[in-house]
Amino acid sequence: MTDRGNIVGVDLFCGAGGLTYGLERAGIEVRLAIDVDKSCEYPIRRNTKASFLHRDVDRLNPSAITDAFDNAKVSLLAGCAPCQPFSTYSRSAKRHGPKRRGRGDAEDWKLVARFGELIRKTQPCLVTMENVPPLGRHDAFSELLGYLEGYHTDYRIVECCSIGLPQKRMRLVVVASKLGPIHLPEFDLERTTVRSAIGALPAISAGGHDPSDKLHRASRLSEINLARIRASKPGGTWRDWPAELRAACHARDTGETYPSVYGRMAWDGPAPTITTQCFGYGNGRFGHPEQDRAISLREAAMLQGFPRNYSFISDDEEPSFAKLGRLIGNAVPVTLGETIGRLLVEHVEAA
């Protein structure tokens, strides 16, 4: 039996620290968190015990990882490699032109390949990666599994509602071990709700904020969007509105395929997938269940599993919806990180 305290991790593509923080809650020592985005340094240093390395993984010397593993009985390489087809930039580009084919596809998934290269070069005892489900249909995923030759490997698509996160988020999760066979179960934990996550937060208005928490702030609404949200039902769609409030796109046939934009969440169900644009009422079903506004940045973070006191920016920095939306929406949900961490701890203890 191996001591759980001897699992030492490195988190690649660490973002705002959702995976690092979740792994730590499971009892794993994450010594190093790495990201190309300098904005990730503050939340990592402020909320976790990990050191932060500001580095592009394409220029990362594998020795940075192996040095962090020094004296570890069990080493873990973890991460969520960003995939270009699902980045904010790529979604915008897709609206303005056809997706590139051929060589461009390899570029889209190159960070997944880089993750695989670093596995091969550093040879950790354990590996975990989470990513978007469509990755599993691409050659890049088969190539990643090829980098895991010599490991016992399992993977599945995890519905985050099934692990206790109040969010309809689907993620492809991979676990691999040199210690013995490892298995990802079909999770079926108690379902949680929007109410359980954010119901205790103080009421605020559109464009307002809580003086005691600068992240509990909501974006402004135009007069027509204020009228629209007042006409919206929890869990409903824009079809609940009177005709005069409907946008021109709703009158076209294509509008019928987007029922969840301009929607309110329901108190007693899960939230939709939290995205980088979750602070905007018109960007999805991001309306507050009861108050006439979009969810606040703090509410978005809590729906991602972050605790209420998690700090994303320093006290002297003014909040930016764009920056914080990116950090929160791109984060690995803390609940998913902790669930994976507990699975790895149990695996090591049984080895």
Q: What is the DSSP letter of 48?
A: S
Measured from the Cβ of residue 261, the count of other Cβ atoms closer than 10 Å reads: 18
Alpha helical stretches, state H, the chain: 18-25, 41-47, 63-68, 88-96, 103-108, 110-122, 139-147, 194-198, 223-230, 248-251, 297-303, 321-329, 334-350
Residue type, 323: K
- Reported as a single tens digit per residue, the pLDDT across 38-58 is 999 999 999 999 999 999 999
2-19 average pLDDT score: 86
Select 4-192+332-350's CATH number: 3.40.1160.10, 3.40.50.2300, 3.40.50.150, 3.40.1350.10.
3.40.50.150
Structure tokens at 82: 């960003």
| The pLDDT of residue 109 | 85
- Superfamily grouping for domain 194-329: DNA Methylase, subunit A, domain 2 (3.90.120.10)
3-state secondary structure of 117: helix
Would you list the domain boundaries of the chain?
4-192+332-350, 194-329
Active site residues: 83
Tokens 């794993």 sit on residue: 28
pLDDT (0 to 100) of residue 243: 86
pLDDT at 27 > cutoff 60: yes
User: Which phi and psi angles does 81 have, rounded to 5°?
Assistant: -75, 120
Q: What was the pLDDT predicted at 58?
A: 92
What residue spans of 167-310 are helical by DSSP H?
194-198, 223-230, 248-251, 297-303
Q: In this model, does residue 3 exceed pLDDT 80?
A: no
What pLDDT is attached to residue 25? Answer: 98
Domain 194-329 in the same topology as domain 4-192+332-350: no
Task: Give Cβ neighbours of residue 4 (< 8 Å, ≥ 6 apart).
Answer: 27, 28, 345, 348, 349
What is the predicted pLDDT for the residue at 99?
Answer: 38
Mean of pLDDT values over 13-27: 98
Position 86 pLDDT exceeds 80: no
The 3-class secondary structure across 70-91, one letter per residue, is CCCCEEEEEECCCCHHHCHHHH
Q: For the residues 287-303, what does the mean pLDDT come to?
A: 98
Q: What is the pTM of this model?
A: 0.91
The predicted structure's pLDDT at residue 249? 65
User: What pLDDT score was predicted for residue 252?
Assistant: 56
Task: Give the Å distances, CA to CA, from 131 to 44, 79, 86, 229, 260.
Answer: 20, 9, 10, 33, 23
Average pLDDT along the chain: 90
Sign of CA dihedral 59, 132, 39, 74: negative
> Which tops the pLDDT comparison, 106 or 244?
244
How far, CA to CA in Å, does 327 sit from each of 218, 255, 257, 280, 300? Answer: 16, 30, 28, 15, 11
Give SS3 for 344: helix
Closest C-alpha among 166, 213, 201 to residue 311? 213
> pLDDT tens digit string along 167-195?
999 999 999 999 999 999 999 999 999 99
For residue 267, the model assigns a pLDDT of 97
* Cα–Cα distance for residue pair 348/67, rounded to 1 Å: 21
Q: What is the pLDDT of residues 211-268, one digit of tens each?
A: 999 999 999 999 999 999 999 999 888 888 888 898 766 655 554 555 667 899 999 9
**Which of the four pLDDT bands, split at 50, 70 and 90, describes residue 93?**
very low
- Of 25, 48, 26, 147, the residue nearest 34 (C-alpha): 48
Looking at the predicted structure, is the pLDDT value of residue 106 above 90? no
pLDDT value at position 88? 41
What whole-number distance in Å separates Cα of residue 59 and Cα of residue 337?
A: 26
CA within 13 Å, CB half, 203: 4
